[in-house]
């Protein structure tokens, strides 16, 4: 006879829990049994919003080394940690963010202010300045690999990702090749007398580039035709621009009128959205690599992070010592923001103010996501929404904001009274977006 032995398993081993795990409980999901579930959920949402503000400590650190105002920042497209900064004293520093060290320091990279930087590939850097020179550096070397002399002071520079072509901005836009010492083409609008303040290549269609100038213009160029295709004259001049990394037709402009504008280049008669919050000129802007948010820095000494499609209530970063912000940047992992200001420091901020740095366990991540979903679900509640929207502002910014709101309200009342006392149909209210662009030229 064959004996069959029966194996018995201890089922208790499969339900064993780790030390510290909550005791599993069974719940009756019938909503009639839980009449106070919505009240409990609202209380949890309010507590989650308050905890988010309590743990909001965005400042990470500062990168020192410059002795004058930081004018420009540039990041490496395929690296998380490599960032270059240029100063008014002509110095250039290449930083390693993860180790907080200087990979290269060029105290006299240019004679006078450094106005443009662009990291090329893994180990090269392009820089331009008011000394009418463009210099190509190898990171780690004290002498430039090549010098491209120009006739005018340069204000900005940008390099194509996949070729040796780069563009500079001065009194006109010039296209250069790294292998040639002179510009291969000059791009300008026929009736233009402007000084170009910033130029950027489109991230998707590399033959398209855009520029903003001192005569309140925003211009699109095509290097295949060698001429300016379209130009828009705005109400006030723009100081900086940035192409969206996820929507190639979207572009962001930082304006002198305290606002930021997003345009769809297929329709330039009006901006697609206006972002209001700054109380002084906006000097710089940069998209997050995800395309869902962007950062701006202004003359009001604040750094603001905006959600795409939401033109109000941005995240506001400031410190007592930070002066006027001249350059801002999102890191390539979208987790951190960099700002350069007049006090000579490059500051590192968190992209999300209350985010915890370091290792986060799965349970903690799930709790954070749950609290975030609660706040998002209850943000229309009066108390929860107030906690979510409220941001502490420095006293000068708070005072200027109140004064600005008073002036805008008085302007609105004045237009309303003028329209009230004119003949019916003569004066029609004009949407705010329609006032930005004065004329479009082709």
DSSP string for residues in 245-263: SS-TTEEEEEETTSEEEEE
User: What integer best gives the mean pLDDT of the chain?
Assistant: 90
Measure the CA–CA gap between 87 and 410, rounded to whole angstroms. 41
User: What average pLDDT does the segment 226-250 reach?
Assistant: 92
Q: Please check whether residue 98 lies inside any domain of the structure.
A: yes
Where is pLDDT greater, at 257 or 23? Answer: 257
Quickly state the pLDDT bin for 8 (edges 50, 70, 90).
low
Question: In this structure, what token pair is assigned to residue 52?
Answer: 């988010």
pLDDT tens digits, one per residue of 327-357: 999 999 999 999 999 999 999 999 999 999 9
Q: Please check whether residue 112 lies inside any domain of the structure.
A: yes
pLDDT value at position 348?
A: 95
Quickly state the pLDDT bin for 4 (edges 50, 70, 90).
low
Q: Please check whether residue 158 lies inside any domain of the structure.
A: yes
Say if residue 363's pLDDT is above 60.
Answer: yes
pLDDT value at position 68?
A: 92
The residue behind tokens 């709790």 is: 367
Across 19-33, 227-241, 362-376, least confident range: 19-33
Identify the CA nearest to 229 among candidates 185, 188, 267. Answer: 188
Residue 10: Cβ-neighbour burial (10 angstroms; 0-12, 13-18, 19+):
exposed
Say if residue 373's pLDDT is above 90.
Answer: yes
The widest CA-to-CA distance across the chain, in whole angstroms, is: 113
Listing from the earlier edge strand, what are the strands of the sheet with 250-255? 238-243, 250-255, 259-264, 273-276
Measure the CA–CA gap between 297 and 285, rounded to whole angstroms. 7
Q: Please check whether residue 24 lies inside any domain of the structure.
A: no
Quickly state the pLDDT bin for 15 (edges 50, 70, 90).
low
Measure the CA–CA gap between 145 and 143, rounded to whole angstroms. 7
The residue behind tokens 């105290």 is: 107
Q: Please check whether residue 64 lies inside any domain of the structure.
A: yes
Percent pLDDT > 70 in the chain is 95
Say if residue 275's pLDDT is above 60.
Answer: yes
Where is pLDDT greater, at 28 or 383? Answer: 383
pLDDT tens digits, one per residue of 19-40: 878 788 888 888 888 889 899 9
Quickly state the pLDDT bin for 431 (edges 50, 70, 90).
confident
Alpha-carbon distances, residue 248 vs 65, 265, 305, 329 (angstroms): 36, 9, 21, 19
Contact 428, 216 (CB under 8 A): no
pLDDT tens digits, one per residue of 106-140: 988 899 899 999 999 888 999 999 999 999 999 98
DSSP SS3 for 300: coil
Q: Please check whether residue 95 lies inside any domain of the structure.
A: yes
Q: What is the DSSP string of 36-72?
A: THHHHHHHHHHHHHHHHHHT---EEEEE---SS-EEE
DSSP SS3 for 349: strand
Contact 122, 101 (CB under 8 A): no
Quickly state the pLDDT bin for 156 (edges 50, 70, 90).
very high
Q: Dihedrals φ, ψ of 409, to 5°?
A: -65, -40
Say if residue 11's pLDDT is above 60.
Answer: no
User: What average pLDDT does the segment 383-411 reach?
Assistant: 92
Quickly state the pLDDT bin for 14 (edges 50, 70, 90).
low
The CATH number that applies at residue 79 is 2.130.10.10
Question: In this structure, what token pair is assigned to residue 348?
Answer: 């590192």
Q: Please check whether residue 127 lies inside any domain of the structure.
A: yes
Q: Please check whether residue 7 lies inside any domain of the structure.
A: no
User: What average pLDDT does the segment 194-204 reach?
Assistant: 91
Measure the CA–CA gap between 79 and 51, rounded to whole angstroms. 33
pLDDT value at position 266?
A: 92
Say if residue 5's pLDDT is above 70.
Answer: no
Question: How many other C-beta atoms lie within 10 A of the C-beta of residue 351?
Answer: 19
Domain total for the chain?
Answer: 1
Conformational region of residue 412, where left means phi above 0, alpha means psi within -120 to 50, and beta covers everything else: alpha
The residue behind tokens 């060029």 is: 106
Element containing residue 223 per DSSP (H, E): none
Measure the CA–CA gap between 199 and 11, rounded to whole angstroms. 68
The parent domain of residue 231 ranges over 60-350
């Amino acid at each position: 006879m064959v004996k069959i032995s029966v194996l018995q398993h201890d089922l208790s081993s499969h339900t064993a829990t780790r030390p510290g795990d909550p005791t599993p409980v069974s719940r009756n999901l019938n909503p009639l049994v839980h009449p106070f579930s919505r009240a409990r959920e609202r209380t949890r949402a309010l507590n989650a919003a308050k905890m988010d503000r309590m743990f909001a400590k965005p400042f990470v650190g500062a990168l020192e080394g410059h002795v004058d105002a930081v004018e420009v920042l540039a990041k490496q497209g395929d690296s998380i940690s490599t960032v270059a900064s240029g100063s008014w004293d002509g110095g250039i520093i290449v930083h390693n963010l993860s180790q907080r060290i200087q990979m290269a320091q060029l105290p006299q990279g240019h004679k006078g202010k450094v106005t443009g930087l662009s990291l090329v590939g893994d180990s090269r850097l392009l820089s331009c300045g008011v000394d009418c020179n463009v210099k190509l550096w190898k990171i780690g070397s004290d002498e430039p690999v090549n010098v491209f002399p120009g006739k005018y002071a340069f204000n900005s520079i940008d390099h194509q990702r996949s070729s040796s072509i780069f563009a500079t901005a001065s009194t006109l836009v010039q296209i250069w090749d790294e292998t040639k010492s002179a510009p291969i083409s000059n791009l300008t609008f026929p009736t233009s007398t402007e000084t170009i303040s910033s130029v950027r290549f489109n991230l998707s269609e590399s033959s398209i580039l855009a520029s903003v100038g001192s005569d309140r213009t925003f211009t699109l160029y095509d290097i295949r035709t060698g001429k300016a295709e379209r130009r828009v004259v705005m109400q006030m001049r723009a100081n900086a621009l940035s192409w969206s990394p996820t929507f190639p037709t979207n572009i962001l402009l930082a304006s002198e009128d305290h606002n930021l504008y997003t345009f769809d280049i297929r329709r330039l008669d009006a901006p697609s959205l206006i972002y209001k919050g700054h109380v002084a000129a906006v000097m710089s802007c940069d998209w997050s690599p995800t395309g869902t948010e962007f950062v701006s820095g202004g003359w009001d000494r604040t750094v603001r992070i905006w959600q795409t499609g939401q033109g109000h209530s941005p995240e506001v970063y400031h410190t007592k010592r930070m002066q006027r912000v001249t350059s801002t940047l999102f890191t390539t992992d979208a987790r951190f923001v960099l700002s350069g200001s007049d006090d000579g420091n490059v500051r590192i901020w968190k992209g999300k103010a209350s985010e915890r740095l370091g290792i986060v366990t799965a349970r903690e991540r799930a709790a954070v996501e749950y609290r975030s979903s609660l706040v998002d679900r209850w943000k229309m509640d009066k108390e929860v929404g107030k906690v979510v929207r409220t941001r502490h502002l420095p006293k000068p910014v708070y005072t200027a904001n109140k004064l600005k709101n008073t002036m805008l309200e008085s302007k609105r009342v004045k237009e309303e009274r003028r329209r009230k006392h004119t003949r019916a149909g003569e004066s029609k209210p004009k949407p705010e977006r329609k006032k930005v662009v004065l004329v479009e030229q082709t």
